[in-house]
Amino acid sequence: MKNKNTCLQCGDVGHKTSLVYCKNCLQCAVHRYCMDVMPKPNHKSPSWLCEDCRESKKFKKRRRLVLNQSDNEISAERVQTLSSKLGQKSFLHSFAGVRGTTWAEPLVRPVWTGSFDVWCNESVCRRMDGFAAHLSVKACEKVINEAAAFQAVMPIEVLPRSYVWPKSFEVSGPTDDNVAVYFFPSLMKYESLYDYLVFEMMRDDVAMRASVRNTELLIFTSIELPSRCRRFQGKLYLWGVFRAQQAAVVV
């Protein structure tokens, strides 16, 4: 697949023979000449771990340490039931605290499942089914309220990314702190369609926009994020950020 042969550092295919794949997931790659420490020319098979796998290994070590302490036992069942015993906002903070999370990641349970009505222009619309929205563990109460207003079928505009790119991203770019919601396929049967949509958006450098109450939901591909958070479970994905409705421009 195209995205599997794309360097996480420079975002380009470049010289395929120079790609070094993550020894753990075998899905992410980086050029030898883009690595933090470039291997010697005679080193044919350098060892490299992508950011997700490095962090995953760190988390597994932390989790084992916690589970070995009888006073701090944490079971999967306990984590799953926290949301029913606490308010949604409290659950977000509790989940992040339990996991020791310092970077953003999606909550397991989707806050919305539905379809996109994708408007490419005023007369062409295509229905795309099988999307699931997952809040970020760093989501604030305002984000939770906005996500609760998602329609079952969400009207979506496809626009040039530069047209809707927030000014706050122009200087240093977005980070995982800016991710309000993650969009994934709701079922495995929708994965191929979802992957192709991500590819199309990257290829054409476009974004999506939807109106939600008094805000706009802007949807971008994860290639716009720092390399350490561009992939979830080894794959590129879609993420959204909310901003206030923009006034119409009179031409």
Residue type, 247: A
Residue 104 lies in a domain: no
The lowest-confidence range among 98-107, 158-167, 180-189 is 98-107
Total domains in the chain come to 3
Instruction: For residues 90 and 192, state if they share a domain.
Output: no
Angle, nearest 10°, between helix axes 76-85 and 88-99? 160
Instruction: For residues 203 and 164, state if they share a domain.
Output: yes
Instruction: For residues 178 and 199, state if they share a domain.
Output: yes
CA distances from 201 to 147, 150, 172, 175, 194 (A): 23, 22, 21, 19, 11
Instruction: For residues 224 and 121, state if they share a domain.
Output: yes
Instruction: For residues 85 and 173, state if they share a domain.
Output: no
Residue 136 lies in a domain: yes
Residue type, 167: K
Q: Is 37 exposed, middle or buried (0-12, 13-18, 19+ CB in 10 A)?
A: exposed
What is the average pLDDT across 182-198?
95
Q: How many residues are listed for the chain in this entry?
A: 251
Instruction: For residues 93 and 120, state if they share a domain.
Output: no
What is the average pLDDT across 223-236?
92
Of 20 and 27, the one with more pLDDT: 20
Q: What are 100's two structure tokens? A: 């020791």
Q: Reduced to 3 states, what is the DSSP secondary structure of residue 22?
A: coil
- Per-residue pLDDT reduced to its tens digit, 39-65: 666 666 778 788 777 765 554 444 443
Residue 249 lies in a domain: no
Q: For residues 207 and 243, what is the distance between their CA atoms, to the nearest angstrom?
A: 14
Residue 172 lies in a domain: yes
Instruction: For residues 121 and 62, state if they share a domain.
Output: no
Instruction: For residues 28 and 65, state if they share a domain.
Output: no
Instruction: For residues 9 and 80, state if they share a domain.
Output: no
Closest CA to 241 of 225, 249, 92, 233: 225
- Per-residue pLDDT reduced to its tens digit, 125-147: 889 999 999 999 988 889 999 99
Residue 248 DSSP label:
P
Instruction: For residues 6 and 126, state if they share a domain.
Output: no
CB 15 within 8 A of CB 31: yes
Residue type, 112: W
Residue 164 has pLDDT above 70, yes or no: yes
Instruction: For residues 94 and 19, state if they share a domain.
Output: no
The whole domain housing 196 covers 112-244
Instruction: For residues 69 and 55, state if they share a domain.
Output: yes
Q: Which element (helix H / strand E) includes 194?
A: helix 191-204
Q: For residues 224 and 226, what is the distance between their CA atoms, to the nearest angstrom?
A: 7
What CATH number does residue 164 fall under? 2.40.290.30
